[in-house]
Amino acid sequence: MGLKHEETWVEGWNTLYEKVEQEPELLFLAFDWSEMTEDDALGFIQNQAYEGYQVEFEEVWYKGKKSLRFYRGREIS
């Protein structure tokens, strides 16, 4: 894994930590709307970086709570 991949991974984790700090009750969702734990979300970010992709997320409402829905983003170049 190259430096860009590691930077993408660390940036993704930092963004997630900031969101959780701002909104501690966030739910985490995979692209297919299945629920994930915070650890699962961190693992998804890391795995996607290893595979050469950025992770994108969108803020959505799910079961009446603010949530982050994760999906594979652009290829890391």
Give the DSSP per-residue string, the chain. --HHHHHHHHHHHHHHHHHHHH-TT-EEE-TTS-EE-HHHHHHHHHHHHHTTEEEEEEEEEETTEEEEEEEEEEEP-
Q: What is the pLDDT of residues 11-40, one digit of tens each?
A: 999 999 999 999 999 999 999 999 999 999
> Residue 1 above 80 pLDDT?
no
pLDDT band at 77 (very low <50, low <70, confident <90, very high): confident
Whether residue 5 has pLDDT greater than 90 = no
Determine how many CB atoms are found less than 10 A away from the CB of residue 46.
Answer: 18
Structure tokens at 55: 């992770």
Taking only the tens place, the pLDDT of each residue in 51-65 is: 999 999 999 999 999
